[in-house]
Structures are given as structure tokens and as C-alpha cells.
Structure 1
Amino acid sequence: MRLLALASVSLWTCACAPALSTFQPAHVADKGHVQAELGLDVSIPTGTIASLIDAGVVLADVAESRELSERERQTLFEAGGALTLNPPSATPHLGIGYTALDRWELNLRYTGSALRLGTRYQLLKRDKDGVDLTAGVGVGRYVFGLPVVSVLGIVELEDFTRWQIDLPIQVGTAGTWYRVWGGPRLMLTTFDAGLTMNLPAVTGYPGEREIAALSGVGLYVGGQAGVAFGYKHVFLGIELTLAEIFTGGELSVLGQRAATVDLDSFIIYPAVGLMVEF
């Protein structure tokens, strides 16, 4: 039942989860050259987020037959918040990096509804140091926002704003026919969203419309590893990221603080993509 619920919700939330993949090898291209990637990520939340989504799907069905209690309404809002923060979803990604100076790369990436601008510097080179090592920073923002969609049947998400700062660190090696990379995954995100609940009319209850807002901060801490195979300039790769998200959020209804929302969860994040260097 949980898998069916998550699958149905993911149809509404495609490309809303933050991109935890990097699909960057542990080296930058030579000066004046480009690295690019194209692929698809899958976000699989577990723990609190998955449980809240399950509960939200059930309560959305219950609301069709009876009036919900205040606690049930809050759970529905929290489920909407879980979908805002890190829903089960599939996220396409497209990125390009240009090495403007020796060892220094500028990069731009599109992931679903978000754009990220970043930079990397190669600290170690395989031919000199025996291993490649890069470190950098990136800033992302959801530039297209979320469409007003009824993701739980009766809860709408709107006025969505999200910023992200990540610190990519990759160590690995590369050859003519392979790329291997891995490292820690660190990302800080801030989020704000409006939530509207449209409770249907049932026997003895005329129906109701409630408006809430969710805001907070999340920290993703984990690790990732990837491998790609190909020849010279074109490689097909897979990458797996495992991360814990620690959150601090606040839910307010009609402008009044309602509750502190705990959405701490473990995220499983596989990805597949095509990598080119020219």
C-alpha cells in the first residue's frame, strides 16, 4: 500500500525534489574545454516523510466521508509540507561546465524546476598526485516554482520558494574508458510554501477552506559514489547518493503558529546519466 501511495503521489510531484546527484567526475576538463551531462534522478524518501505522505493519502480519502478533526487537518498540512520538501519523484538534469582557467571550472545545471550556478577547483591531479580531487560550491533556486496542483486530492501547494547551497567534494580517478568518483554530500536548503486545504462537504458538514504556510531549513548530510564507462569523450554512468535530512520547520494556519514540523528522514537517491567531455 505504501508503494502504491508513493507512486500515485509521485505523478503529481515529478521534478520537485532537490537534486542530490552531481554527475561530475573528480577532475575538471583541461583549460578551454567542457564537461556536460544529461540524465535522470529518482528520489526515494523514507522515515517521517514517507509516513506522512501515507497518512495524507489516507486522510484525503477519509475527508470524502466525514469531517476531519483538528489533528487530522494538521497531519494533512504536514503531509503537504513533506511533499514540498522532498517528495518521491523523478528529476531530469542537464549540466555543463567550462574550465575557464587551469584547474578552475564554472558550471550551470538545470534540474526539474531549479537552476544551479556553481564552481569547482581541482586540488589534486591523478598524473601528479595519484588521485583526482575537486572541491567547490553551488547556489540553486527553484526558478519556476510549483504549479498549483492538488497533490493529495484536497491540499494544494502554491507560492513555493526554495534556495539551496551545496559543497561538492569529489575524489576519484579516470582513464580512457572509465570514470570513478565519490565523496560527501552536503546541502543546505531553505523553503517556504503556501498550503490550501479544500475540505469537501459531507452529511452534516458544509465543507471548508483552510490556508496555511510552511517555512523552514533543511540540511542534507550523506555521501555518494558513481562510476561511468565509455570511450574517450562519451560515458554512460550511474550514481548513488544516500543522505539524512535534518529539518527545522514551522507550520502556521491563518497567520497563527500551529506547530513545529519535524521532517527528518533518510533519502535514497539513485541516478543515471550520459557524460561527455570535449
Structure 2
Amino acid sequence: MRLLAFALPCLWTCGCAPALSTFQPAHVADKGHVQAELGLDVSIPTGAIASLIDAGVVLADVAESRELSEGERQALFEAGGALALNPPSATPHLGVGYTALDRWELNLRYTGSALRLGTRYQLLKRDKDGVDLTAGVGVGRYVLGFPVLGVLGIVELEDFTRWQIDLPIQIGTAGTWYRVWGGPRLMFTTFDAGLTVDLPAFSGYPGEREIASLSGTGLYVGGQAGVAFGYKHVFFGVELTLAELFTGGELSVLGERAVAVDLDSFVIYPAVGLMVEF
């Protein structure tokens, strides 16, 4: 319940969860034409990430009235790492794809604070093969600073670096008034950040400042499906991605002690938006 209490403000302020949506139909546009999309994703992490954030919110409150133990301080750092890796958030997305050669598309996408450059190739065409099938690859990097983790109050994130590689594969079909697509969702990510905890002073305790670093890798494995309705060139669509996050992370406090951090989680990721082709 405590997680739900801060989830709504966090949804509208973080915007830094990795974009698991694709919002692309299973076909590329004709040569010389463009596909574009504009919308909003919502990331809802469950499991370990949700539990760590929940515990961190409790400890941030407790730190106002008593000194935290070593284990509790580590839990605060882990909560900050969970927010850095996959916070509950709403992420705007804007993407444009241009078909430079027959069946081959180049695309660029902006999602919250990250840019992604990718490409797709259409392997099957509905008019010849009965179904559309595209496969591609994309590389993304966070290009803006991560916001202060205000939801935890006393935890700040610094020098956040993140790279992502994803392999979009879509199968589906399309007509003059609809688009239907789906496929596996695979994304690999590396991350590195500095975390600072400012423990507040109170009667009998002067307060402290601790610094840690968090680094590691993550793998999202899941699937997605989407549908859009409209006419000819403009469509309104919804997409749902369900993915398991497998992580390998290490937390080092003051460069002296390093512990493995378990941030494995299941992520529910709905998205809505407009799709155009011209």
C-alpha cells in the first residue's frame, strides 16, 4: 500500500524507465515513405523492485527520528538502485522511421530522457506471404540527467549512465482501417550510477552523508502485442508488453564493501499513442 501511495506522483515525475514499447506495426512503409508515432508508456514493476522501493520509503521516514543500522543503510541504497533501474513511471515517446530502401527502414526514437537509433528489415509481406514480419536492432543511451530521487527524500542519484540494445521482432497484419502486431521483446542494458544518502540530523545525532556506486547489467525477456484502428494514414493504438527483468548488479559503499544486489522483477508495460504513415 505504501508503494501505491507514492506511485502516482512518481509516474508523472520520473519518466526514466526503459522504453519496452515499440509502437511499430509489423510492416515498414513503402520505399521513400515514413512511419511515425507519438504516445505514452506506463511502467509498473513488481517483485523485488517494488519491495525494495517500498522498504526504502519506510526507511527514509524512519531516518528522521533515529540512526539507521548498516543493513538499513544498505537497503536505502538498494531502493535507490531499484528506482534508477526501473522506476514506476510514465514515459512519453516519439519515433520516426524512414524506408530508405525497399523493405529496409532506419528509425530514431526519443523516450523520456533516452535516444534510440535503430533499423528494421521486412522479411515477409502480407500481399505475398499472407503475413507481415520484420526484424531489427536498436541501440539506446540516456542523454539527460536522471531526476533526484525525491520519492525517497534523502537519496540522490548522480552520474547516471545507461546503454541499451534491443532486438525488435514483429509479426502481424494490416489493412486500410487496422494494424495488428506482436512478438517477443528482448532488451539488454548496462547501467552505472553514484548514489548519495544524506541522513538527517536530530537530537543526539549529527547526521551523516554516505556515498555508494551501483553498476551492473539487466536483461528484459518477454512478449508484446498491439492493435490500432484508424483510416489509411492515421491510427490510434494500444500496446501491452509483459517482461521479466533478470539483473546482475553490485553495490559498493565508499569503495570498501561490495555486495550483490538482486533487482529481478516482472514488469507490466502498457502504452497508448498515435501512429501515422505517409
Same fold flag (TM > 0.5): yes
Aligned to 1:4: 5
Does the CA-based 8 Å contact 1:12-1:151 persist in structure 2? no
TM-score (norm 1): 0.98
CA distance in 1, matches of 2:9, 2:233: 39
CA distance in 1, matches of 2:149, 2:83: 12
Structure 1 residues 9 and 204, CA gap change in structure 2 (3 angstroms):
farther
Structure 1 residues 12 and 67, CA gap change in structure 2 (3 angstroms):
farther
Aligned to 2:136: 136
Post-superposition Cα deviations, 1:196-217, rounded to whole Å, max 9, x if no partner, equal 0000012221100000010000
CA distance in 2, matches of 1:252, 1:12: 27
Aligned to 2:170: 170
Q: Structure 1: give runs of 5+ residues left out of the alignment.
A: none
Q: Secondary structure at the match of 2:206?
A: coil
Aligned to 1:225: 225
Does the CA-based 8 Å contact 2:11-2:42 persist in structure 1? no
Aligned to 2:55: 55
Aligned to 1:237: 237
Displacement after TM superposition at 1:158 (Å): 1.3
Aligned to 2:123: 123
CA distance in 2, matches of 1:19, 1:249: 20
Structure 1 outlier segments of 4+, above 6 Å: none
Aligned to 2:159: 159
Displacement after TM superposition at 1:256 (Å): 2.0
Displacement after TM superposition at 1:145 (Å): 2.5
Structure 1 residues 161 and 22, CA gap change in structure 2 (3 angstroms):
same
Displacement after TM superposition at 1:3 (Å): 1.1
CA distance in 1, matches of 2:147, 2:67: 27
Displacement after TM superposition at 1:11 (Å): 4.6
- Taking only aligned residues, the RMSD between alpha carbons, in angstroms, comes to 1.0
CA distance in 1, matches of 2:23, 2:63: 43
Q: Secondary structure at the match of 2:204?
A: coil
Matched, 1:265 2:247: no
Matched, 1:195 2:201: no
Alignment of 1:18-37 (within 5 A): 18-37=18-37
Structure 1 residues 205 and 10, CA gap change in structure 2 (3 angstroms):
farther
Post-superposition Cα deviations, 1:164-203, rounded to whole Å, max 9, x if no partner, equal 0000000000000000000000000000111000000122
Does the CA-based 8 Å contact 1:31-1:103 persist in structure 2? yes
CA distance in 2, matches of 1:68, 1:9: 25
Q: Secondary structure at the match of 1:81?
A: helix
The alignment of Structure 1 onto Structure 2 pairs a total of residues equal to 277
- Percent identity between matched residues is 87
